[in-house]
Structure 1
């Protein structure tokens, strides 16, 4: 099965989950993540998360948990000048949001709110699928692969990237491309995977 076909199949599986199943999964992952973050000082820890869309694991419970515990939260924004790259902006309950070209909510661009990747300790990212070796299948735009490349090449050793998804998104094997970066952690409602 090609990556394109596998992506479509897994996206359909994700869409077939009921709103109740999705909501329950988001709450379970938030609970597991809260345990994972224990020991990190919230006031000195910045967590990058994403606004879920199109059946992705709901991140609102995660965002609210992070705010409640006092973590600094940032959201990805499509880079306005460097195509295919992400910026990360501070996100609080009163941050104005706008839809980007993919119909995903992101903070309205304000250079004063940009947080460099060097200042982010935990990077939560969506996935369409993953396998037993931590290989991740994303939406195909390469945004997170470009971000992860900086971590993988040793330039961001203090960054912990963690994929978030449903149990149903695990497959036996994902065919990897040269630019794919495997993850060392993935959290699903049933399990915290370490690779």
Structure 2
């Protein structure tokens, strides 16, 4: 999909608790793409830090590794071209169930109607659930990537 190969910042995540790891994605970025990892902020939002294998990491308050950078060196969600989101489940309308902390929803809510970043859920096809009600604060997915390929939801 060309939109996933466009130059810019691509945010992934450090997989924990059965989330699909993204190491292979990081190694196959297109020219001009920069891999980023999220950093949890004091206000329970996320900022994103460019990261390459071997760069220093420190555990956050949940024990998840984050790039060791000064806050001024991090990026806002609006600076990203693509954000790959972990999920526990998704439905056919592009609703996403995460771990329940709301970090991605709080971070992406101000950009709900913006063309970027492209919001892509990453998981297994077996994580598709019957349709479920989204809460007012939930931010939907533009698509999902599973072992069966790409599935678009649109906004």
Give TM-score scaled by structure 2 length: 0.89
Q: Measure how far apart 1:70 and its partner are.
A: 4.6
1:165 aligns with 2:128: no
Which of the two has greater strand per residue?
2
- Which segments of 5 or more consecutive residues in structure 2 lack a partner in the other structure? none
CA–CA distance in 1 between the matches of 2:135 and 2:72? 36
Q: Measure how far apart 1:148 and its partner are.
A: 1.9
Question: Looking at CA atoms only, which structure, 1 or 2, has the larger radius of gyration?
Answer: 1
Which one of 2, 7, 14 corresponds to residue 51 of structure 1? 14
CA RMSD of aligned residues (A): 1.8
For this pair of structures, how many residues does the alignment match? 153
Q: 1:178 to 1:37 in 2, by over 3 A?
A: closer
Q: Which runs of 4+ in 1 moved over 3 A?
A: none
Map 1:17-166 → 2, pairs under 5 A: 37-38=4-5, 40=6, 42=7, 45-66=8-29, 69-79=31-41, 81-82=42-43, 84-152=44-112, 154=113, 156-166=114-124
Which of the two has greater helix per residue?
1
Q: Measure how far apart 1:158 and its partner are.
A: 2.7
CA–CA distance in 1 between the matches of 2:139 and 2:32? 30
Give TM-score scaled by structure 1 length: 0.72
Q: Measure how far apart 1:61 and its partner are.
A: 1.0
- Which segments of 5 or more consecutive residues in structure 1 lack a partner in the other structure? 1-32
